[in-house]
Amino acid sequence: MPGLNSAAPGPQTAEAVPFTYEQEWYDANVRQTYVHRNVRLSYEILGPLDGALFEQAVHRFVARHDALRMEVLPLNERTPMAAQRVRPLGPDERVVHHQEVKAVSAEQFGVYAAAVLTRDFLEPWTTGHRPYTLRLLRYSSEHHAFLATFQNLVFDGRAHHLFAQEIWRDYEALRRRQEVPGTAPSFAAAALRQRTAFGPRHLRRAQDSWYDRAGFAGLNPWHRPDHAAASEDGAVPAELSAAQVAALRQACEREHCTLLQWVVAAFARAIAQCTGRRRLSLWTSMDSRRAAERDVVGMFAGVAPLKVEHATAPLPEVRAEVSGQILEALRYQQLSGRQLRTMLRELAPDEGWLGRDIHINLRRFEGDHQQTRHDGDLRVTADAYPLRRVTFANASALQLRCDEYRDRLFINLLFDGHRVGRQLAQAILGCLTADLTVDCGTDVRTPRKSS
């Protein structure tokens, strides 16, 4: 394809690069089956898409972000620890699979696209293959589906956001015959910096901090309150409008905290209000990228325990405690997978509480929320093809999923029916949203019927 490899490649290295701390933890605890988990994208594209130009935009992304050219090295005497290296793209290597789909209707095409995405999501990934599958399905000249799955070992939620942002930016630039970036911050370099940035004293302090927070979790497991009625597993959602999010951001500025810090504190306080529990262990997602590394594609997303000892206190006090715990976790996230496994086995030999009884997944997206966007003469709908007949098991009693956009806040509280129950989950969500909208004066939307 003319011009396909004209983008300058990203940083190359034949040397072994250590896993990030987050990769090592994921490799030890999740990756045994090499399944594509958690990171997938799908788009319905209506309008006159230039398939060759779109592939070039995707190819440019892969060429400049070395995380997508990583290969895992086999363990041997030369590489006794988990490691990886950059394998350059071949001169004629295609990154996007094209397929013409003969379907009797647009609806049947959509069903087929969902089935293909599901198959790719579940397809085992073996060493030696690229850690992604990218497909452009064509139903007609003005109706396409773009399906992408990425191995979580090299691709986290921030990488997901960067991919979705950059491919459409670059496609539009190429369509206008404008330049697109040829290089990007290197994942290999960031991984090296992460593993060499801290000395022995800091790493000992990190271990002490983990022992303290994880030990607290072991002493404070979740127990269903006596008044909570069991139900089927499920989820209860809520959505804050643009006006409500703007008011919450103003309140955060006055209180010198982030919006997501406020959310975590309000969630802890909501659980305390509805259960009477003063001491709570929360496990939350952490992105260890430094501010200067926000545009690095790779795997830097891990989990960390937070200990809340005064969840029944007034909101400002809970917020201060939670903010301090989040900063503590960010400062001392640096523990290897081997160290974590050893520590957790010491604290809980049966590992029964490691399912993270209360889990918080926080994601922050730049810009406004747009399920459907218009890129020039294209109409592009994200998350257009749901997985088919795939059930996800949730080991947590409560899992709060929060997606923050500039103009929206989407909340979904998943609950274990036996350990929590729908009635208690709804009460917790009500207390949570009350603390998020205290300065707004408007009701929170419940956008869809609870599942």
In this predicted structure, the answer to whether residue 367 has a pLDDT above a threshold of 90 is no
Query: Are the C-beta atoms of 61 and 174 separated by less than 8 Å?
Result: no
More confident residue, 395 or 421: 421
What was the pLDDT predicted at 14? Answer: 62
Distance CA 22, CA 337 (A): 8
Residue 5 banded pLDDT, cuts 50, 70, 90: very low
Residues 152-171 have pLDDT tens digits of 889 999 999 999 999 999 99
User: Which pLDDT value is given to residue 24?
Assistant: 87
Query: If pLDDT is split at 50, 70 and 90, which confidence band does 350 have?
Result: low
Q: For residue 380, is pLDDT > 60?
A: yes
pLDDT at residue 440, rounded to an integer = 55
Residue 289 pLDDT > 60: yes
* Residue 31: per-residue pLDDT: 55
Q: Quick check: 338 pLDDT over 90?
A: no
Q: What is the mean pLDDT of residues 16-40?
A: 75
Q: How confident is the model at residue 3 (pLDDT cuts 50, 70, 90)?
A: very low
Kindly tell me if the per-residue pLDDT of 283 is higher than 90: yes
Q: What do you get for the CA distance between the two ends of the chain, in Å?
A: 47
Chain-centre distance of CA 158, in angstroms? 7
- Mean pLDDT check: name the lowest of 296-310, 361-375, 421-435: 361-375
Rounded Cα distance between 25 and 309, Å, is 27
Residue 335 pLDDT class (50, 70, 90 cuts): confident
Give pLDDT tens digits for 412-444: 999 999 999 999 999 999 999 999 997 654 555
- pLDDT at 8 exceeding the cut of 50: no
Average confidence score pLDDT of the chain: 88
Q: Is residue 4 pLDDT above 70, yes or no?
A: no
Percent of the chain with pLDDT over 70: 88
Alpha-carbon distance 286 to 204, whole Å? 20
Query: pLDDT at residue 173 above 80?
Result: yes
Q: Of 124-133, 185-194, 201-210, 232-241, which range is least confident?
A: 124-133
Task: Indicate if the pLDDT at residue 245 is higher than 50.
Answer: yes
Split at pLDDT 50, 70, 90, the class of 451 is very low
Least confident of 23-27, 268-272, 378-382, 445-449: 445-449
Considering all CA atoms of the chain, what is the largest pairwise distance in Å, rounded to the nearest integer?
68
Strands laid side by side in the 398-404 sheet: 234-240, 409-415, 398-404, 358-364, 280-287, 301-308
Give this prediction's pTM.
Answer: 0.87
| CA–CA distance, 332 with 288 (Å, rounded to integer) | 10
What secondary structure does DSSP assign to 33-50, as a single string? Answer: G-B--S-EEEEEEES---
* 385 and 218 Cβ atoms separated by less than 8 Å: no
Task: Look at residue 351 in the predicted model and tell me its pLDDT.
Answer: 53
